[in-house]
Amino acid sequence: LLHTWASKTGGTDSLDKGRNVPHIKTFFQSPFARDDLMNWFVVTSHNLSKAAWGEVQNRREQGLTLTIQHWELGVFISPSTLGCKTMGPLVHSTTGGGKPKGNNGTKKNRHALIPLPYKSSPEKYSPTDRAWVVDNLQGVF
């Protein structure tokens, strides 16, 4: 389930993704065993938390109420929302001649490119890796 964030610095990384760890949250689904295609993609600012997604509370005066503690913005993208046949992660910004890779053909046959701030095939945690969780800080302060 857990994977590490990694990106090359310099060299062939024309998007220069390796310099900064992104604060944005991204989720996407790829077809099985294909890291060059995406079924859908979401870029957002929210975490997977009750504060961002909301929580149903039973209030005495109001009854059941959805309580959202802060608002966030997210964008859902799919081939149908872009009006193209397929979409996938942008690995390099251009190919020879400065033309964007994959944007050839008619609009209905076009392959849309989604720039990612990380590798589209992230590395799984090793057995010695530990996820950072705020609860791990108990006893430190």
Please name the residue ranges forming H helices in the chain: 50-53, 79-82
| 72 CB-near residues (< 8 Å, 6+ apart) | 44, 45, 46, 52
Mean confidence (pLDDT) of the chain: 75
pLDDT in tens, 44-69: 887 777 777 788 999 888 899 988 88
Grade residue 14 by pLDDT with cuts at 50, 70 and 90: low
The values of phi and psi at residue 26, to 5°, are -130, 140
Buried b vs exposed e over 36-53: b needs ≥16 C-beta within 10 Å?
ebbeebebeeeeeeeebe
Transcribe 88-100 into DSSP letters: EEESSS--GGGPP
Q: Please report, rounded to a whole number, the percentage of residues in the chain having pLDDT higher than 70.
A: 62
Grade residue 129 by pLDDT with cuts at 50, 70 and 90: confident
Sign, CA torsion 126/127/130/131: positive
The values of phi and psi at residue 136, to 5°, are -65, -15
Most confident of 1-5, 48-52, 78-82: 78-82
Grade residue 22 by pLDDT with cuts at 50, 70 and 90: low
The values of phi and psi at residue 65, to 5°, are -140, 135
Answer with the residue of higher pLDDT: 26 or 80: 80
- Judging by DSSP bridges, how do beta strands 40-44 and 74-77 pair with one another? antiparallel
